[in-house]
Chain A
Amino acid sequence: MTVTSFGFLGLLAAGVAIYYCAPKKIQWIVLLGLSMVFYYYAAEPFTIIFLIISTATAYITTNLMPCASERIRKHISGIAVMGILINAVLWFALKGSSFWLAGARALQRLIPDLNIPVEGTLVSALGMGYYTAQVVGYILDCYRGVSIPQRNPIKLFLFVCFFPQLTVGPISKYSQLQSLYEGHRFSYSNLCFGSQRILWGFFKKLVISDRVGIIISAIWADAGTYTGFWPWCAVLLYPLQIYTDFSGCMDIVLGAAELFDIKLPENFHNPFTSRSVQEFWQRWHITLGIWAKDYVYYPVLKSKVLVSLGRWTKKHFGKRGAKLIPWAVGMGILWFVMGFWHGSMRHILGLSAWYWIILVLGELFAPVLKKLIQFLKVNTECYSWKLFQRIRTYVIFAFGTVFFAAPGFHAALERYKILYTSLKNLNPWIFFDGSILNLGVSWMDVNLVIIGTYLLVKVAYLRVHYGYARIWIQKQILPFRWLLWIVLFLLVLIYGLYGAGYDASQFIYQGF
């Protein structure tokens, strides 16, 4: 069962009915029950043991903190570290297996007599990257006194396994999910808003993302034939695919939670309106960014080593150096953790290193660029300059995602090579001769992608001006509102790529 499956919709419908019929005191138990049903059908049922282990370590370590005797209190940080380590090791053993398997293989090659079992697949828990991050955050929040440890282990288990967010997040903080345990009254607006958001998510995923995916896959599958502008199209379209895939899934997840009157944190905020890479990462996968900042970046910046480094750099490189170098080190560690969380060396070396270098270079040359802009008398407030900045950010992101989209590190490097060599035989006629139809799509598909992209832009605009597009829609007259949702429903029903023959069930970010 995935969040785009018919089974999930059925579970939601039944779940909402049971949830609001149940007494408020036991509504959280209903959520737990629904989460168990979802897990049973969505994952290997036995892997629930990993969630139980994570919950148990979080429960024990956090509950040892407040009641610790004076003697033990000195060791609270050790207890917290222990809890985090157990979760991290579990994650590393299963989800991060590509790291140690690579090491094991290298060792095996070096010493053939060792016979290390390096083949076969390890079954990890569903959404392990997401819930492990939540559990680590929870332990640290309790350690810092930001959150009060949950006394009921079953309730804590619900925080770990709450079903809508189990597949692709968001990575919620414990304090953000207190409403899980509260009683909720049925609200018509929650039902409407939740359903609307789910529908919009379906539209993004099934109508836009999977169509763009067909084009991209066809190009990379036969890169020898599709040269010239084709690989560039694939690279520049990938951000659209991954955005509509990931954010579409988030819309379904957030909408599903909203049906139960539970607000989950947003993961996206119009990322393609960002004028810089730094801003982009504040708008893309927001909860992972916040998690990494709160639990990695700030603690690192405040660490003795970084503080000493700051002093040392101030002495040797002046004020700017003192600011820039510790910041760059902190960002390096933050990006390393982000790449590591994605679970492979290509993410660390490609994704993380790429954005870190871009960010550091941007910061390093910021004064020069500022002077250049002043010298050229560029009006930085005009629309075209902002548009240029947005396109620049998009292209930088698109280049970075080559590491994300490629099946491996070497494949990613190969794709960069293809991009470079294809510049030598550009073929602009492909945009006019209809050869796109050889990629497994029709003009109808192309038109749907264009219409879908226009709607994305429109919704992004409404979000800037009204908070949410649906708030603007709510202000319109009833026939218009209904017409809008009905058209969206029909678009998904008819043009969604689902059912027999399609494997639209897998989300790109589901693998983490």
Chain B
Amino acid sequence: MEKMKDKLKKITAFVLFMGIIIFLFCKATWIFRANGEEAREDIVGFKNQANIDVVLYGGSNLLRFYQPLEAWKQKGYTSYNYATSAAKADLLKEYIEESRSTNEAQLYVCDIRTISMVESVVDEASLRNWSDSVPVFSPVRLKGIGSFLFSRDWQDQDIPSFYFDILKYHVNYEALGSSYQWAYTDLGNIYNVDKGFDPSLAHVPFEEPERYDGRGELTQQQEKGLNKLLDYCDQENLQVLFIVCPYIISESDWLILNTCGDIIQARGYEFVNFNEYYEEIGFDFETDFGDVNHVNYLGSQKYTAYLMDYISDHYDLADHRGEEAFDGWNSDYAIFAQSQEEWQESIDSLVAQHLEAKEIGAGLGDISDPERWYNKIQNRNFTVIIQKNESYDWPTDDATLKKMLSKWEMDMSKSSYVGVFSGNTCIFSSNEGETYYGNLGVDRGRGTKECTVSAGENPQMIIDGTDYYSEAEGIQIIVFDNNYQKIVDHAVLSVSGEEVRIIHQ
């Protein structure tokens, strides 16, 4: 009897001790986690939301595109973006499974745009954005990590650190001094007012992408990932809408997504590729995109309006506005509306600047007054490339010329000069015959234009493969619009007698 009692005591003590250790391990993990704050806030915040009618799953394409609180305001249904940046489509099954542990929705919306990004390489960030935002010992998390890693080339990965991410993050000692990080020791404190919306306040202009109706072949891994998701939806008998958010879609993506649409529809689910509805949505490709993959806030307003109409027209969702249990949504919207104003102001101003620069660029070729021309090219949306191939002794006291030469740090007695400036920033300046190698233009997923400028024995001004160098005597200047990624002026600065002249090429 005594022995039995002793054994029982030891077992109890062991279980209790291990319980404390595991409890502290989990808390410490939350404190040290250093994956994207946005992802953690969105995923953990979801747990503290009640009665969500529509949950949307995907990557940043959802975070930047759809405003759940606007849908609440306009349509009265509750929705939430359960999404993390770079989320891979073959992990969406686990996203749904994990979210359902705290909330059963009426409609599940899956954005499968990233199916084309499902490849054999392990994209650590795409997994960690989600897995390191979920409780360590969540069975869905553990299962998800396994299925994600072991369906890829995992051999070079630090596998234990995916399961127990504190192994990776424990060196994030600054976290110990951050009240933000400590807040995660009580997950009940994490509340996401924006319901998973995080706008892009960037802007770059695009051309409307072409449409392709053909079909492409899915890789085995992509097909397996899609079927896993569909099997789960079948098994759980879920009402699911499969979508593809609009973006600057490539031909290969069109073909793959068309095939996915066929598979999904064959399984009896609805599939909408919103890239087919640019006109209906009302996109202006010159203003509504922040980068190649995301709309900016302007685009998100148009897309949200279209998607919420689509959802409310096609699904029978209750209007909760006026219900006491949903009062919190009204107060959240009030905060959100303030943010909306700020976002609107910010993006309007940015787009206006870019359009203004475009307009200035279009008129540069008509300006012959050097001072006026010089003032116009100071716009920070332009990159100014300057090249001089001879030494000059211009007999002039022209103030504008002096200002230019001083800013460019140009030594007129030297026979070579290369300078690259953007606004007031000097990117490169050399009187010693050095060659400039660089890239021009704002990237945002479009790529940039290679630029090589040299003076002296081998003068050249190559931009995107074309040499713009001309034999004209004087200082050659190319003005490049960074947003529109094009040359807006190519001029030669010279002096005739006492007169400073700008000759457009």
Residues of chain A at the chain B interface (Cβ within 8 Å): 6-7, 188, 444, 478, 482, 485-486, 489-490, 493-496, 498-501
With contacts A6-B167, A489-B21 taken as known, whether A500 is within 8 angstroms of B161 at the C-beta atoms is: yes
Q: How far is the CA of A7 from the CA of B160 in the complex (A)?
A: 8
Q: How would residues 395 to 414 of chain B score, 1 for a CB under 8 Å from any chain A CB and 0 otherwise?
A: 00000000000000000000
Asked whether B170 lies within 8 Å of A499 as measured between CB atoms, the reply is yes
* Chain B minimum-CB-distance residue to A188: B10
| Pairs across A and B, CB under 8 Å, 23 listed | A6-B164, A6-B167, A7-B160, A188-B10, A478-B13, A482-B17, A486-B24, A489-B21, A490-B24, A493-B25, A493-B166, A493-B170, A494-B32, A495-B170, A496-B170, A498-B167, A499-B158, A499-B170, A499-B171, A500-B158, A500-B161, A500-B168, A501-B171
Q: Which of B154-192 contact A (CB under 8 A)?
A: 158, 160-161, 164, 166-168, 170-171, 173
Asked whether A494 lies within 8 Å of B161 as measured between CB atoms, the reply is no
Instruction: Let me know if B117 is at the binding interface, CB within 8 A.
Output: no
Chain A contact residues, majority secondary structure: helix
Q: Which 5 A-B pairs have the closest CB atoms?
A: A6-B160, A499-B167, A188-B10, A494-B170, A500-B158
Q: How far is the CA of A496 from the CA of B170 in the complex (A)?
A: 8
Asked whether A490 lies within 8 Å of B170 as measured between CB atoms, the reply is no
Chain A contacts of B10 at CB under 8 A?
188
Chain A contacts of B14 at CB under 8 A?
188
Instruction: Let me know if B28 is at the binding interface, CB within 8 A.
Output: yes
Chain A contacts of B20 at CB under 8 A?
482, 486
Q: How far is the CA of A7 from the CA of B10 in the complex (A)?
A: 28
With contacts A188-B10, A500-B158, A500-B168 taken as known, whether A444 is within 8 angstroms of B25 at the C-beta atoms is: no
Q: How far is the CA of A495 from the CA of B24 in the complex (A)?
A: 15
Chain B contacts of A444 at CB under 8 A?
173
* Chain A minimum-CB-distance residue to B163: A6
Q: How far is the CA of A485 from the CA of B24 in the complex (A)?
A: 12
Chain B contacts of A485 at CB under 8 A?
17
Chain A contacts of B25 at CB under 8 A?
493
* Chain B minimum-CB-distance residue to A498: B167
Chain A contacts of B161 at CB under 8 A?
499-500
Nearest CB in chain B: distance from A30 CB, A: 22
Q: How far is the CA of A494 from the CA of B28 in the complex (A)?
A: 8
Q: How far is the CA of A499 from the CA of B17 in the complex (A)?
A: 26
Q: Which of B456-479 contact A (CB under 8 A)?
A: none
* Chain A minimum-CB-distance residue to B158: A500
Asked whether A499 lies within 8 Å of B168 as measured between CB atoms, the reply is yes
Nearest CB in chain B: distance from A472 CB, A: 19
* Chain A minimum-CB-distance residue to B169: A499
Q: How far is the CA of A485 from the CA of B167 in the complex (A)?
A: 19
Chain B contacts of A496 at CB under 8 A?
170
Q: How far is the CA of A499 from the CA of B164 in the complex (A)?
A: 11
Chain A contacts of B167 at CB under 8 A?
6, 498-499
Nearest CB in chain B: distance from A129 CB, A: 30
Q: Which of B187-210 contact A (CB under 8 A)?
A: none
Chain B contacts of A498 at CB under 8 A?
167, 170
* Chain B minimum-CB-distance residue to A497: B171
**How many A-B pairs fall under 8 Å by CB?**
40
Nearest CB in chain A: distance from B201 CB, A: 33
Nearest CB in chain A: distance from B25 CB, A: 7
* Chain A minimum-CB-distance residue to B11: A188
* Chain A minimum-CB-distance residue to B32: A494
Known: A482-B17, A493-B28; 16 extra A-B contacts, CB below 8 A, are A482-B20, A485-B17, A486-B20, A486-B21, A486-B24, A489-B24, A490-B24, A490-B28, A493-B25, A498-B167, A499-B158, A499-B168, A499-B171, A500-B158, A500-B161, A500-B168
* Chain A minimum-CB-distance residue to B25: A493
Q: How far is the CA of A174 from the CA of B167 in the complex (A)?
A: 39
Q: How would residues 71 to 115 of chain B score, 1 for a CB under 8 Å from any chain A CB and 0 otherwise?
A: 000000000000000000000000000000000000000000000
Q: How far is the CA of A6 from the CA of B168 in the complex (A)?
A: 12
Chain A contacts of B168 at CB under 8 A?
499-500
* Most central of A7, A482, A501 by chain B CB within 10 Å: A482
Chain A contacts of B160 at CB under 8 A?
6-7
Nearest CB in chain B: distance from A242 CB, A: 24
Chain B contacts of A6 at CB under 8 A?
160, 164, 167
Nearest CB in chain B: distance from A505 CB, A: 12
Q: How far is the CA of A324 from the CA of B158 in the complex (A)?
A: 58
* Most central of A7, A482, A495, A499 by chain B CB within 10 Å: A499
Chain B contacts of A494 at CB under 8 A?
28, 32, 170, 173
Chain B contacts of A500 at CB under 8 A?
158, 161, 168
* Chain B minimum-CB-distance residue to A496: B170
Q: How far is the CA of A483 from the CA of B24 in the complex (A)?
A: 12
* Chain A minimum-CB-distance residue to B13: A478
Q: How far is the CA of A482 from the CA of B17 in the complex (A)?
A: 7
Q: How far is the CA of A485 from the CA of B14 in the complex (A)?
A: 13
Q: How far is the CA of A444 from the CA of B171 in the complex (A)?
A: 12
Q: How far is the CA of A489 from the CA of B167 in the complex (A)?
A: 13
Nearest CB in chain B: distance from A52 CB, A: 29
Q: How far is the CA of A444 from the CA of B160 in the complex (A)?
A: 27
Chain B contacts of A478 at CB under 8 A?
13
Chain A contacts of B171 at CB under 8 A?
499, 501
Nearest CB in chain A: distance from B174 CB, A: 11
Chain B contacts of A495 at CB under 8 A?
170
Q: How far is the CA of A250 from the CA of B214 in the complex (A)?
A: 66
Chain A contacts of B17 at CB under 8 A?
482, 485
Nearest CB in chain B: distance from A488 CB, A: 11
Chain A contacts of B170 at CB under 8 A?
493-496, 498-499
Nearest CB in chain A: distance from B352 CB, A: 45
Chain B contacts of A7 at CB under 8 A?
160
* Chain B minimum-CB-distance residue to A192: B14
* Chain B minimum-CB-distance residue to A494: B170
Q: Which of B13-43 contact A (CB under 8 A)?
A: 13-14, 17, 20-21, 24-25, 28, 32
Chain B contacts of A499 at CB under 8 A?
158, 161, 167-168, 170-171
Q: How far is the CA of A188 from the CA of B11 in the complex (A)?
A: 9
Q: How far is the CA of A496 from the CA of B168 in the complex (A)?
A: 11
Nearest CB in chain A: distance from B91 CB, A: 22
Q: How far is the CA of A490 from the CA of B20 in the complex (A)?
A: 12
Nearest CB in chain B: distance from A188 CB, A: 5
Q: How far is the CA of A237 from the CA of B167 in the complex (A)?
A: 28
Chain A contacts of B166 at CB under 8 A?
493
Nearest CB in chain B: distance from A495 CB, A: 8
* Chain B minimum-CB-distance residue to A5: B160
Chain B contacts of A486 at CB under 8 A?
20-21, 24
Chain B contacts of A482 at CB under 8 A?
17, 20
Q: How far is the CA of A490 from the CA of B32 in the complex (A)?
A: 12
Chain A contacts of B24 at CB under 8 A?
486, 489-490
Q: How far is the CA of A279 from the CA of B166 in the complex (A)?
A: 43
Nearest CB in chain B: distance from A289 CB, A: 37
Nearest CB in chain A: distance from B4 CB, A: 14
* Chain B minimum-CB-distance residue to A483: B20
Nearest CB in chain B: distance from A444 CB, A: 6
* Chain A minimum-CB-distance residue to B172: A494
Chain A contacts of B13 at CB under 8 A?
478
Q: How far is the CA of A486 from the CA of B18 in the complex (A)?
A: 10
Q: How far is the CA of A489 from the CA of B25 in the complex (A)?
A: 9
Q: How far is the CA of A496 from the CA of B167 in the complex (A)?
A: 10
Q: How far is the CA of A500 from the CA of B166 in the complex (A)?
A: 11
Q: How far is the CA of A485 from the CA of B20 in the complex (A)?
A: 11
Q: Which of B369-390 contact A (CB under 8 A)?
A: none
Q: How far is the CA of A284 from the CA of B20 in the complex (A)?
A: 37
* Chain A minimum-CB-distance residue to B165: A499
Nearest CB in chain A: distance from B372 CB, A: 53
Q: How far is the CA of A499 from the CA of B170 in the complex (A)?
A: 9
Q: How far is the CA of A444 from the CA of B166 in the complex (A)?
A: 19
Chain B contacts of A490 at CB under 8 A?
24, 28
Q: How far is the CA of A73 from the CA of B359 in the complex (A)?
A: 107
Nearest CB in chain B: distance from A205 CB, A: 15
Nearest CB in chain B: distance from A388 CB, A: 39
* Most central of A478, A482, A486, A493 by chain B CB within 10 Å: A493
Nearest CB in chain A: distance from B171 CB, A: 7
